[in-house]
Amino acid sequence: MASKSAKSFTLKSVFNLKTLIGGAVILLLVWLIAVFNFGLEQQSIFLPGVTSEGHFGFEASCASCHDGFKKVSNETCNRCHEAELAQDIHGEKKFRDIRWAEKLENLDALTCTACHNEHVQMYGRGVHLQPDLCMACHQGIIEGDMKSHDGFTEEGCWTAGCHNYHDHRSISTGFLYDNLDQPPMLPVQQLPDIVVEATVESAPTPNLKQEFLGGDA
Amino acid sequence: MKGQQGIGRPSWRSVVSVFLCLGLAIASLSLGNITPALADGVTEAELSEMTELWKGSAHALSEINCSSCHQDSETEAFVQKPNYESCQSCHEFETDTFLLGKHGIRLNEGQSPLTPAKARLAMKPEAHSKQMNCNACHNVHSVNTYEASVDSCLTCHNDQHSLNYETSKHAELFVAEGVLPRPSSASVTCATCHLPRETHQETSGGDVLVNHNNTYTLKPRDRMVSEVCMNCHGMEYAYNSIFDNELVESNFAQPPKLHLKSFDMVRVLRDKREGK
């Protein structure tokens, strides 16, 4: 039945193959432009690779990181990562010091994208990192400058979980030194408590009419 | 009657099709009109249930009434479903941190709320379409955070670490405290580690606020150790546990077997400095 009515519906008389293909191409183009310009959910079709663990979930929102076709800037990263970078040991403060300023020639350490790239192969931690990143400045550590680190691998610094590039407050030698040999359970085991102070002794009786029709509650 | 109709008469079929389509369109339109009305309409019974929940809440005792959330402060219009912005007007730190974590980042970026269906981690199939907003985890009328600290998480999360929580030592501590308006300082819940309580000395005069960025303590892992584990555990025990993936998956079912060499290196350094 369906095939017969389809037959009687002579599409050929209205459309030929050329106009059909042309129409489809135009529709596809309009859709692509709309997706690109209006930030629709389907923007994920423009993703060039697998999104990192941290950025996964909102990767269809290109404008979150990209301002048109410009390079991703530190400002874009800081929109979300500012709090985490507040104690950046490799931050601006470090490289304003003339002892370290020239190290920026080895690696542009003040530009997020010098080390971090999205959409490329991951090393299980944040956005893409070169495993031997630290060697741009700290090669000496594993080549005799520090006896305890002789012969360590180039990527071991952070892949082994011992060092953090940005915030090393809780993994620094000083921190470990101060907290060695603690018992499994500390003598005082207590998490912060939350105290809510009441301003009235008992709950008032809600009067919806007064609240919503007569102004103030 | 059908037999009498000629097969080659498309007009008959067209008429039937048009009526069928119209019928379907009208039916779906009216269904569309009815369904939201049922979902949005609140019965007297539901209203009194919400009121009872609110009466026992911390909000009621702090003079946060119906209109505090359900009325637009400028237009005074009734707001049936307040969103995160309504919570944000009082709970600024909580909302701001929520928006930066995995649960809230989509809202922060102007997208639709996250649903468990979009997750890479294992989620419960029946929760796949749940939308991550403040009220996805919080009962907004009782504002009781006891449920939000474990039950809400397990409504969606279905990975081994999450499922093993209930048989863990941490859960024993939580259960031992009984049902409270909010977890006590001796309870270890999902939220204890993943939405940690922080003391804000500088900005809030020592107030304890909950960091709702659920990804904050996940990586780097030492952040969890210093900010959470070391409230109760020694450093070496905590590090040796958290860097053992199997132990993490079991939700810390036994003491750590891992022995990180870093500590021995620091011990050597200490002995050297102290001239031992």
Listed by start position, the domains of chain B span 48-214, 219-276
Q: Which domain holds residue A149?
A: 130-165
pLDDT (0 to 100) of residue A214: 62
A72/A52 same-domain check: yes
Predicted local confidence at residue B17, as pLDDT: 54
Question: Is position A208 within any domain?
Answer: no
pLDDT recorded at residue A8:
54
> Which residue of chain A is at minimal alpha-carbon distance from B70?
A212
Which range (B14-28, B59-73, B133-147) has the least confidence? Answer: B14-28
In a domain, A24, yes or no: no
Give me the amino acid identity at A208: L
A123, pLDDT greater than 80: no
- In order of B38, B56, B127, the CA distances from B136 in angstroms are 20, 20, 11
- pLDDT range class, residue B217, cuts 50, 70, 90: very high
From A165, A190, A211, the end of a domain falls on: A165
Please check the confidence at residue B252 and state whether its pLDDT lies above 80. Answer: yes
User: In this complex, do B226 and A39 lie within 8 Å of one another by their Cβ atoms?
Assistant: no
B139-150 burial: b if 16+ Cβ within 10 Å, else e = bbbbbbbbebbb
Nearest chain B CA: its distance from A71 CA (Å): 19
Query: CA-to-CA distance for B102 and B219, rounded, in angstroms?
Result: 13
Residue A136 lies in a domain: yes
Residues A134 and A116 in one domain: no
Same domain, residue pair A88 and A158: no
- Whether residue A119 is found in the same domain as residue A152: no
Domain end: A148, A165, A182, which one?
Answer: A165
Both A59 and A103 in one domain: the answer is: yes
Q: What pLDDT does residue A117 have?
A: 84
A120 and A81 in one domain?
yes
The pTM for the full model equals: 0.82
Asked if the structure places residue A200 within a domain, the reply is no
Q: Are B232 and A181 in contact (CB under 8 A)?
A: no
Domain boundary among A150, A165, A180: A165
> How many structural domains comprise chain A?
2
Residue at A150 is within a domain: yes
Q: What is the pLDDT of residue B4?
A: 43
pLDDT at A209: 73
Q: Are residues A123 and A51 in the same domain?
A: yes
Which residue in B66, B112, B118 is closest to A206 by CB distance? B66
Assign B3 a pLDDT band (cuts: 50, 70, 90).
very low
The whole-angstrom separation of Cα B141 and Cα A113 is 45
Read off the tokens for A45: 């079709």
**pLDDT tens, residue by residue, B149-173:** 999 999 999 999 999 999 999 999 9
What pLDDT does B39 receive? 39
- Check residues B178 and B23 and name the one with the higher pLDDT: B178
d(CA B241, CA B11): 76
Q: How far apart are CA B266 and CA A174, in angstroms?
A: 9
A100 within a domain of the structure (yes/no): yes
A141: pLDDT strictly greater than 60:
yes
pLDDT at residue B230 greater than cutoff 90: yes
- Give the sign of the dihedral formed by CA B159, CA B162, CA B166, CA B167: positive
User: Chain centroid to CA B221: how far?
Assistant: 21
Instruction: List pLDDT tens digits, range A82-108.
Output: 988 988 999 999 999 999 999 999 999
Helix (H) or strand (E) holding B198: strand B197-200
Average pLDDT over residues B215-221: 90
For the segment A26-43, the average pLDDT, to the nearest whole number, is 78
* DSSP state, residue B159: S
Pick the residue of A165, A196, A200, A202 with the most B CBs within 10 A to test the interface with B by mutation.
Answer: A196
A149, part of any domain = yes
Confidence of residue B258 (pLDDT cuts 50, 70, 90): very high
ipTM value for the complex: 0.81
User: Does position B1 have pLDDT exceeding 50, yes or no?
Assistant: no
Residue A112 has pLDDT above 70, yes or no: yes
**Residue B164, amino acid:** N
Q: Is the pLDDT of residue A142 over 80?
A: yes
Residue A94 counted as domain residue: yes
Out of A41, A54, A192, closest to residue B199 by CB: A192
Question: Chain A residue closest to B116 (CA)?
Answer: A57
How does pLDDT run across B24-41, given as a tens digit for each residue?
544 444 443 333 333 367
Q: Give the residue-averaged pLDDT of A187-208.
A: 86
Residues 6+ apart with CB under 8 A from A178: none
The pLDDT of residue B239 is: 96
Above 60 in pLDDT, residue A5?
A: no
Residue type, A48: P
Asked if residue A159 lies in contact with residue B249, where contact means CB atoms within 8 angstroms, the answer is no
* CB contact (8 A) between residue A177 and residue B112: no
Distance from CA of A10 to the nearest CA of B (A): 12
Instruction: Return the closest-CA partner of residue B17 out of A216, A66, A9, A166.
Output: A9
Q: What is the pLDDT of residue B113?
A: 96
Selected for mutation to probe chain A from B42, B99, B236, B244 (highest A CB count within 10 Å) is B236
Residues A152, A87 within the same domain: no
